[in-house]
Amino acid sequence: MNERTQIMDKAIRQLNLRIPETIIQDLDQIAQEEQIDRTTVARKLLAEGIQRWRFDQALRQYEQGQITKGRAAELAGVTIYDILDEVRRRGLAAQYSLEEVREDLQAILSAV
């Protein structure tokens, strides 16, 4: 769970939705298997879906060269290594911008 999701947990607001019966049945089944209430299941799955969407959006922007891997990780709420692992897993072309080269060189020079 990333920081934004944790903040959302502290400031809970109500959202009313019309949901197809099949989804209600799925939520009930998951709730029974997980031994938690339906609302908690729905909240958890919604948060996971939003996190996945953010991750995918960050990867898409990274792949298009719009943002650095560091910024992608920041937007997705994950580490740079998570971004790079997913880039490899999906077979995407890794981007290495001039900005990242500068950052890496500065890190190397400051370590010497």
The sign of the torsion formed by the CA atoms of 39, 41, 44, 50 equals: negative
Range name among 69-78, 82-91, 96-105 with the lowest pLDDT average: 96-105
Q: What is the pLDDT of residues 1-56, one digit of tens each?
A: 555 555 555 778 888 999 999 999 999 999 999 999 999 999 999 999 999 999 99
| DSSP symbols for 94-112 | PP--HHHHHHHHHHHHHH-
Q: Which residue has the higher pLDDT, 30 or 107?
A: 30
Is it the case that residue 58 has pLDDT exceeding 90?
yes
Beta-carbon contacts of residue 98 (< 8 Å; ≥ 6 apart): none
The packing angle between helices 38-63 and 69-76, to 10°, is: 170
Q: Which amino acid is at 33?
A: E
In three-state secondary structure terms, 17 is coil
Average pLDDT, the chain: 86
